[in-house]
C-alpha cells in the first residue's frame, strides 16, 4: 500500500490566510503591533476562530506578516557587506533599507519594537545590527565614514524615515530616497555633496526649489 499524499490547504483556507496577513500588515502599519487580534479578524472578514486556527499567537502572525521584508532586509545587508568598497556598501544599505521601510511602515514598527516572542524579527534585527556595525567599522577605517558615527545613528535614521507621511506610497518612497541622500552626506567624513535624488512634493511643504 502506498502512503497517503499530504493534503494541500484548501483554496478557501489559503485565501483566508492571505486576507488575514493583508489585514494585519495594514493595521500594524496604521496602529502599531498592539492592535487587537479581533480587529485583525474583523478587517480580514473572518471570524476569530478562523484567525486563531491559522495563527494561534500574535507573534506568529507578526513573523509571517513580515517574512518577505525580513528576507529582503537580509539580502540588502548581505549585498552591502559583500562590496569591496565599504563606504559604497554602507550607502547601498542606507538607501535600500530606507526605501524598504518607506514601502511598509508596519515593518518598521515590527523591526524597531521589542515585541515579545517574535523570534524571526528579533533574529533579523540582531543580524542586521551586527553586519552593519562591521560594515561601518570598515568604512571608518577606509576614512570615508565620519569617526563619531555610532550604530544608534542608523536607528535614528529609521525612526525619522518612519515619520514620512504622504498621500501615496510612491511619494513616500521618493521622499525617503532624498532623505537617505541627505543622511549619507551627513555621515560622510569629507562630504562630496553629490546631487541629491529629486525632491518629493509634500502637502505640508511650501514652494519647491532650492533656497537662495
pLDDT tens-digit readout, 19-45: 999 999 989 887 888 899 999 999 999
Whether 74 and 160 map to the same domain: the answer is yes
Does 172 fall in a domain? yes
CATH number for the domain spanning 39: value is: 1.10.10.60
Does 36 fall in a domain? yes
Confidence class of residue 107 from pLDDT cuts 50, 70 and 90? confident
Give the per-residue SS3 of the chain.
CCCCCCCCCCHHHHHHHHHHHHHHHHHHHHHCCCCCHHHHHHHHCCCHHHHHHHCCCHHHHHHHHCHHHHHHHHHHHHHHHHCCCHHHHHHHHHHHHHHHHHHCHHHHHHHHCCCCCCHHHHHHHHHHHHHHHHHHHHHHHCCCECCCCCHHHHHHHHHHHHCCCCCCHHHHHHHHHHHHHHHHHHHECCCCCCCCCCCCCCCCCCCCCCCC
pTM of the shown model: 0.80
Whether 182 and 100 map to the same domain: the answer is yes
Whether 72 and 40 map to the same domain: the answer is no
Whether 34 and 56 map to the same domain: the answer is yes
Amino acid at each position: 500500500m502506498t502512503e497517503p499524499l499530504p493534503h494541500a490547504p484548501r483554496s478557501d483556507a489559503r485565501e483566508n490566510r492571505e486576507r488575514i496577513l493583508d489585514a494585519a500588515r495594514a493595521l500594524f502599519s496604521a496602529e502599531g503591533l498592539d492592535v487587537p487580534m479581533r480587529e485583525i479578524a474583523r478587517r480580514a472578514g473572518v471570524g476569530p476562530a478562523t484567525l486563531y486556527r491559522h495563527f494561534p499567537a500574535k507573534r506568529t502572525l507578526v513573523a509571517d506578516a513580515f517574512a518577505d521584508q525580513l528576507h529582503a532586509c537580509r539580502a540588502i545587508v548581505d549585498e552591502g557587506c559583500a562590496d569591496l568598497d565599504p563606504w559604497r556598501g554602507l550607502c547601498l544599505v542606507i538607501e535600500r533599507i530606507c526605501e524598504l521601510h518607506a514601502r511598509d511602515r508596519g515593518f518598521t514598527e515590527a523591526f524597531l519594537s521589542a515585541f515579545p516572542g517574535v523570534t524571526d524579527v528579533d533574529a533579523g534585527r540582531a543580524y542586521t545590527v551586527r553586519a552593519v556595525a562591521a560594515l561601518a567599522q570598515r568604512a571608518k577605517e577606509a576614512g570615508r565614514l565620519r569617526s563619531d558615527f555610532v550604530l544608534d545613528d542608523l536607528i535614528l535614521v529609521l525612526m525619522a524615515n518612519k515619520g514620512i507621511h504622504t498621500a501615496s506610497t510612491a511619494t513616500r518612497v521618493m521622499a525617503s530616497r532624498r532623505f537617505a541622500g541627505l543622511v549619507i552626506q551627513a555621515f560622510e567624513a569629507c562630504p562630496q555633496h553629490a546631487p541629491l535624488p529629486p525632491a518629493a512634493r509634500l502637502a505640508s511643504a511650501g514652494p519647491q526649489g532650492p533656497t537662495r
